[in-house]
Structure 1
Amino acid sequence: MNLHFRTLGEGRPFVILHGLFGTSDNWQTLGRRFSETHKVYLADMRNHGRTEHSAAFDYQLMADDIKEFVESENLQDPIIMGHSMGGKAAMQFALQNPELLSELIVVDIAPKSYPPHHDEIIAGLKAIDLASLKSRNEADEQLKAYVPEADTRLFLLKNLYRKEDNTFAWRANLQAVEENIDKLTNNIQLASSFPKPTLFIRGGRSRYIKPEDTATIKEYFPAARIETIEEAGHWVHAEAPEKFYDIVMNFLKQVLDTSIR
């Protein structure tokens, strides 16, 4: 599948992959920072953003999409970074294609299965009456009964857009998400290992990466280091962008310094 993407800056290729219900737009601010030293590729994952929709939706397909993207753009030794769903897809891609990337950065997700926990979000988004919807504020009010957290609603409603006939529609393929949610919360295919430099960044207030996950991370990503931003939750990059940026850039600098020696 051809992923929709935009580029920023020049330099070493740095591919950024968003999470479930996200879009490449979520990474524009940090993308601009990273583009000061790298050529940044902000991609929309399958069934998200401006990438086409498909009924088929799992981590193998997303890993294949990443491979197709890297090869079609002729990216040489790119850095691949993914958040949540994008992080799992990036892990699977790296495990299966270690020769196609130089470093892997995984944001607040572990290589394991998670219990389904998106039921209220999916129900809330589906409950919004797009046919009669007049404004984003009206959508926010309708969603509030299902998702009480204002920042989460703001994030989710970035998927809402106006079509040419001035009616609203979703960027995300809600039907495909709902029908495949078990595949999206299941583990990736763990085979062999990825020996190259890897960084896991977790939020201290998030429950996605727990201390007991370290052994599994090290088993499949033996060169991994794990950094924690204590004040952040699952959306680490949005909640603590300066610390996030510094951790990523320090990691890349240390990798470069080590390779020069």
Structure 2
Amino acid sequence: MTDDGGNDERLAARTLGDSGPDVVFVHGLFGQGKNWTTIAKGLADRHRVTLLDLPNHGHSPWTDRVDYLDMAELVATELEHLGAPVTLVGHSMGGKVAMQLALRRPELLRALVVVDVAPVTYPPQGGRTDDPDEEASPFAAFIEAMRGMDLAALTSRDEADQALRTAVPSRMVRSFLLQSLVREEPGTGSGWRWRLNLELLERDLGELRGFPEPPPGASFDGPVLWIAGANSTYVLPEDRPHMDALFPATRLVRIKDAGHWVHSEQPETFLTTLRLFLERVEGT
């Protein structure tokens, strides 16, 4: 697998655990599979856990466009190689990929877990609540800050953290973003680079806010766990009819003291919630 620009259509993947039912994780925008490592380790005693890098992220190939249906097909290929059905877990952008796959290839899934995203189109600048203090969608600002960093002059990761501080005030989110900043061959002067196709992601950010229309009459009737952060506005009460229409066997859980990055902000509660769901689905 090449880091970028390769012709290999397979996604980069990492597996934890040797046996048990398959659980596959797909990350959100700016992420990579290893973001799920803490949760995966908590499941690997009873499951074979696969962490995927979506296109234009991590070690997976770069593409010439951002498209949810393309991403869903690439993930479907990985599930076929694993030996479906699996439980598929997706956060944010990865949650939309997972939903699209479930609606188009339901035979590949035993169950679905969607983390802090709804099957809706999000407005470009916030607007998900009536609160005038609600922060506008920060992702465009994140990309601008990452692209604006002078990588040739960068001397340390701490310096990169400082450069992002204005646009990304959360230390947790900065740490998350900087996991995709890598230094090639330290000490050789070859410098730093992003494992994110930032130019493409900036161009197609509008596509990521959307949710492609499902096939007529499509629904996924298997068990679905929806996990939302209680402090997040990504899953609102008015989203529930859309969720239930497409995923009628949905159970929604809101985790206290968590925002959009639920699994990073409350990992123990998230893991407990997920394990209980898996036990029910698997009959253990």
TM-score range, shorter chain: over 0.9
Letter aligned with residue 152 of structure 2: A
Of 109, 116, 119, the residue aligned with 1:111 is 119
1:156 maps to what in 2? 177
SS at 1:208 equivalent: coil
Give the helix-richer structure, 1 or 2: 1
Q: TM-score, normalised by structure 1?
A: 0.95
Alignment of 1:242-261 (within 5 A): 242-257=268-283
Q: Percent identity?
A: 42
- Which residue of the other structure, out of 133, 145, 163, is the alignment partner of 2:166? 145
Contact 1:92 1:189 in 2 (8 A): no
The reply to whether residue 187 of structure 1 matches residue 211 of structure 2 is: yes
1:99 corresponds in structure 2 to: 107
1:86-116 per-residue CA deviation (whole Å, 9 max, x = no partner) reads: 0000000000001111100000000001123
> Aligned-pair RMSD on alpha carbons?
1.3
> For this pair of structures, how many residues does the alignment match?
257
Letter matched to residue 60 of structure 1? L
Which has the larger displacement, 209-218 or 145-154?
Answer: 145-154
Runs of 4+ in 1 over 6 A off after TM superposition: none
**Counterpart-to-counterpart distance in 2, 1:176 and 1:61:** 15
* Residues in 1 aligned to 2:257 and 2:108: alpha-carbon distance in whole angstroms: 34
73, 76, 81: which is aligned to 1:64? 73
For 2:173, the aligned partner's letter is T
1:82 matches 2:83: no
Question: 2:30 aligned with 1:18, yes or no?
Answer: no
TM-score (norm 2): 0.88
Could you tell me which of 140, 153, 166 is aligned with 1:132? 153
**TM-fit CA distance, 1:154:** 1.2
C-alpha deviation, 1:12, in angstroms: 0.9
